Amino acid sequence: MAKTVKETPMMQQYNAIKEKYPDAFLFYRLGDFYELFNDDAIKGAQLLELTLTTRNKNADNPIPMAGVPHHAAQNYIDILVDQGYKVAIVEQMEDPKLAEGMVKRDVVQLVTPGTKMDTGSADAKKNNYITALTSVGDEFGLAYADLSTGELKATVLASTDSVINEVMNLQAKEIVVDNSITDDFIATLKKLGLLISSQADIVTTAELSYLSQDLTRDLEKQAVGHLVTYLTVTQKRSLDHLQKVVSYEPAFFLKMDHNSRYNLELAQNIRTGKKQGTLLWLLDETKTAMGGRMLKQWLDRPLIDRTQIEARQAKVSQLLDNYFERASLQDELVKVYDLERLAGRVAFGSVNGRDMVQLKSSLLQVPKLQAVLANLDNQVFNALTEKLDPVADVAELIEAAITDEPPLSVTDGGIIKDNYSEKLDQYRDVMKNGKQWLAELETKEREATGINGLKIGYNRVFGYYIEVTKSNIAKLDPNRYERKQTLTNAERFSTPELKEREALILEAQEKSTVLEYEIFAQVRDVVKAAITRLQALAKAIAELDVLQSFAVVAETYHFVKPLFTKGHDLDITQGRHPVVEKVLGRQSYVPNDVVMPTDETIMLITGPNMSGKSTYMRQLALIVILAQMGSFVPAEAATMPIFDQIFTRIGAADDLISGNSTFMVEMAEANNALKNATDKSLILFDELGRGTATYDGMALAQAIIEFVHNNVHAKTLFSTHYHELTVLADELPQLQNAHVGAIEQNGNLVFLHKMEAGPADQSYGINVAKLAGMPNVLLQRASTILEHLEDSANELPMSSATVEVESVAVEPVVAVVNTPEPQPVHDEQLALFSDEVVDPKNAAVINELKGVNLAMMTPLEAMNKLFELQQKL
């Protein structure tokens, strides 16, 4: 019969700690295992594929339980954190052998998605950002940090949209909020996949004052305060590697919202969600993890300052023109480990001997990098060379103190070199001579007893012993041999001489291990004092790595240095989409010019689907981004202005976060561009307006084009299937028509992928359907229907090609964006269903048309029905 068991002291302790961390998995240390209890055990067993057992099996309330070995715990913690959970690590705070009563335990670290330090080799080139948010009125203070590298930055943002954009661009995993953030906005942030953590108070410390001393805006200070307090409370250890906060303004860089970055596939492939097939993938020829992260940061924030851009270009030119020096740099950079994260582990106290050897190895490459740069133009590389501090004192200390192949553990000995510490050498001499003495004693005892199988051994429980098989026990002197342990076939003994020597050896071993750890900690403290220098060195090496990567890419893919004009001329000769070209091969890719003088702001592009309009538009955006990163660009020549913002609407996708339709997303993104673009911006609109009725879409498209032309004056590429819009070239002087060439050969459509002046002569929709593999009978039927529709359109008093669409002012455009309900269009269309104007002879057809349920018909069925009714009329 089951019985109720009173809660044990251990479970009382566990529950008391769990109350403080209700939203985290509690890894509770018991001996050599971390145990999970209750709901943590049930859920953890499922997520980690552990065996679920129970504590107090025979009780009315058995406690679910699951555990993991302590030496393998990190892997299990990573699995949970990568899935968005928090893990509180509970350690024994005293030696169980010395504890009086219940062993004291407490949380030593809270690991969260935003505070994860060990990223693994697969994510070495990625930052792991945690953000903090506070607000006053309509403004928000945002701070973000990468705990593994010490990077810490802050800004002030003017709207919730700006916050969302910044957080998504950072690909943050976790956001720390205070009481000023509303529940509604928190709910929106959760929809983005962010883990929300709360930190209501700010704990003012000397460290926080130091980190934020350069900040002037209160909102930035508050955001940094909440973030640093949260990190201090959760990590419960030194954060000496956090760098002084850098205040930044998004407007100081080329601005792109997260939709534009997504549409342009800068760092994430739309189809796979991976890096491969993106601009980052193409550009990444970096040799270090630091360089890989800096490349991503430069891609996220291209420059708008011409001087800074051209300074990068000059360095890339030097590296491109000096192949052997560039190859030497690459050879040395490959040997440089992740200095930023090594410094982070030093500050965190988690650095081991192998990390120290990696740090030394990396520092020893710095003089070699300096020597290579000395062969290049000193004026171009002088400032960067000066930042390459080899931190020689740290390298020399590690070389002198740490063995070349240290063990993983820093507490088991074998980590400090001989001749570094006189006392350690003495202990080691005792241990070395002790082993020799034991070998001599074994030989001596065999001779004295005549037992050839006698041997001397050691284990942690019984120490040193003499082992003799039971058949030889009678040969031993019982007055001299003291029994220590009985085995199945042997007995183990000790002697006065062995006890004496054992005490010396074990004391030397114990003191040697303790002393080695003390020496290692001293070395670590010296390295910790040099963290700021190491971080500055890491940035310089990362910059050099990105620049050589640009040079490699420029040489490999035949990029050229772009020229910047103070005017508004855009002239790209034989431009290419670098990623598509890499995938297809250079011989298969068709390059195109983009020529838009100062007095031309809009290029209206027509042409069939699949012909390359979207690729053409994307390639211009990528060329702009590459140029303003300081990279060379995929073209034969390029002259361009410096753009301040890029707005895109390319591809159709619903907004799953807010539940908006494709058309609503189109209008919202168009509205964003119309409100925020300047004459220095680049706008790319692909098939805008296709998500609604034809006349609605055409009206909006024309109104948007006119507004951009008359008010915004941004360089704009606008692709459309509304051929009627091409007549705008006669009315708008800054608009030019262009189309992607295509020809029919033997009834088949052949795309030329070449941009040509003037409008397209037809849409080739049925030809594209043929390319897609639709059945011939369907295509023939569609052609017949098309002929009848075109004939009917020609008989109408006013064809769609001559419909006049009134110019729509800004306010109506915004009203459409904010009004999801469809609006009535033309009176002529409404009159079709009015009995007052229907010819009695056609009443039956009209009634039949009224009874058609379009929602239940496919497009092809609807076209057939329309043709049938038209024939009846």
More confident position, 83 or 259: 83
pLDDT digits (tens, 9 = 90+) for 685-713: 988 766 666 677 788 889 999 999 999 99
pLDDT value for 4: 53
pLDDT digits (tens, 9 = 90+) for 446-458: 999 999 999 999 8
Place of tokens 């070449």: 754
User: Would you state the structure tokens that stand for residue 570, as one six-digit string?
Assistant: 């855009």
Average pLDDT, the chain: 86
pLDDT value for 584: 87
- Check whether 608 has a pLDDT greater than 80: no
Ranking 578-592, 769-783, 818-832 by mean pLDDT, the lowest is 818-832
Residue 818 in marked binding region: no
- Check whether 525 has a pLDDT greater than 60: yes
pLDDT value for 554: 98
Ranking 65-74, 144-153, 175-184, 760-769 by mean pLDDT, the lowest is 760-769
pLDDT value for 115: 93
Ranking 192-196, 210-214, 328-332, 817-821 by mean pLDDT, the lowest is 817-821
Q: What integer is the mean pLDDT of 490-506?
A: 88
Q: Which of 235, 119, 226 is nearest to 176 (CA)?
A: 226
User: Would you state the structure tokens that stand for residue 125, as one six-digit string?
Assistant: 């080139």
User: Would you state the structure tokens that stand for residue 758, as one six-digit string?
Assistant: 């003037």
pLDDT value for 761: 67
Ranking 13-22, 219-228, 818-827 by mean pLDDT, the lowest is 818-827
pLDDT value for 822: 39
User: Would you state the structure tokens that stand for residue 698, as one six-digit string?
Assistant: 């055409």
Q: What integer is the mean pLDDT of 630-656?
A: 84
Ranking 108-112, 426-430, 857-861 by mean pLDDT, the lowest is 857-861
DSSP H stretches of helix in 530-577: 531-557
User: Would you state the structure tokens that stand for residue 580, as one six-digit string?
Assistant: 């598509």
pLDDT value for 399: 97
Which pLDDT band, with edges at 50, 70 and 90, does 384 fall under? very high
Residue 128 in marked binding region: no
Q: Residue 368: which region, alpha, beta or left (left: phi > 0; alpha: psi -120 to 50)?
A: alpha
Q: What integer is the mean pLDDT of 612-633?
A: 95
pLDDT value for 813: 35
Q: Do residues 239 and 209 lie in contact, with contact meaning Cβ atoms separated by under 8 Å?
A: no
Which pLDDT band, with edges at 50, 70 and 90, does 759 fall under? confident
Q: What CATH class is the domain 9-111?
A: alpha beta
The DSSP string of 62-129 is PEEEEEEEGGGHHHHHHHHHHTT-EEEEEEE-S-TTT-SSSPPEEEEEEE-TTT-----GGGTTS--E
- Check whether 479 has a pLDDT greater than 60: yes
Ranking 23-27, 288-292, 300-304, 510-514 by mean pLDDT, the lowest is 510-514
Residue 610 in marked binding region: yes
pLDDT value for 58: 62
Which pLDDT band, with edges at 50, 70 and 90, does 20 fall under? very high
User: Would you state the structure tokens that stand for residue 31, as one six-digit string?
Assistant: 């001996």
More confident position, 650 or 861: 650
pLDDT value for 636: 97
Q: Which of 595, 589, 588 is nearest to 576 (CA)?
A: 589
pLDDT value for 862: 63
pLDDT value for 860: 54
Residue type, 562: P
User: Would you state the structure tokens that stand for residue 73, as one six-digit string?
Assistant: 């715990």
- Check whether 222 has a pLDDT greater than 70: yes
- Check whether 806 has a pLDDT greater than 60: no
pLDDT value for 377: 81
At 29, is the secondary structure helix, strand, or coil? strand
Q: What percent of the chain has pLDDT over 70?
A: 86
Q: Are strands 174-177 and 129-136 parallel, antiparallel or unpaired?
A: parallel
Q: What CATH class is the domain 121-252?
A: alpha beta
User: Would you state the structure tokens that stand for residue 831, as one six-digit string?
Assistant: 């009159």
| Domain ranges across the chain | 9-111, 121-252, 306-389+530-556, 422-524, 563-818, 827-872
Q: What integer is the mean pLDDT of 807-821?
A: 35
Q: What percent of the chain has pLDDT over 90?
A: 62
pLDDT value for 155: 97
306-389+530-556 and 422-524, same CATH topology:
yes
Residue 609 in marked binding region: yes
At 69, which helix (H) or strand (E)?
Answer: strand 63-69
Percentages of the chain per state (helix, strand, coil), in multiples of 5 = 50, 20, 35
The DSSP output letter for 655 is B
Long-range contacts of 416-424 (CB under 8 A, 24+ apart): 416/516, 416/519, 416/520, 420/519, 421/515, 421/519, 423/515, 424/512, 424/515, 424/516, 424/519
Residue 857 in marked binding region: no
- Check whether 794 has a pLDDT greater than 60: no
**563-818, superfamily in CATH?**
P-loop containing nucleotide triphosphate hydrolases (3.40.50.300)
Q: Do residues 150 and 241 lie in contact, with contact meaning Cβ atoms separated by under 8 Å?
A: yes
Ranking 220-224, 240-244, 647-651 by mean pLDDT, the lowest is 647-651
Distance of CA 837 to the CA centre of its chain: 63
pLDDT value for 654: 41
pLDDT value for 838: 53
Residue 277 in marked binding region: no
Residue 608 in marked binding region: yes
Q: What integer is the mean pLDDT of 330-355?
A: 94
Q: Do residues 805 and 785 lie in contact, with contact meaning Cβ atoms separated by under 8 Å?
A: no
pLDDT digits (tens, 9 = 90+) for 268-286: 998 888 999 999 999 999 9
Whole-model pTM: value is: 0.82
Q: Do residues 267 and 280 lie in contact, with contact meaning Cβ atoms separated by under 8 Å?
A: yes
Q: Which of 646, 691, 694 is nearest to 259 (CA)?
A: 646
The domain 422-524: what is its CATH number? 1.10.1420.10
Residue 155: partners with Cβ closer than 8 Å, 6 or more residues away:
141, 142, 166, 220, 247, 248, 249, 250
pLDDT value for 1: 44
Residue 671 in marked binding region: no
Which pLDDT band, with edges at 50, 70 and 90, does 101 fall under? confident
The domain 306-389+530-556: what is its CATH number? 1.10.1420.10
Which pLDDT band, with edges at 50, 70 and 90, does 28 fall under? very high
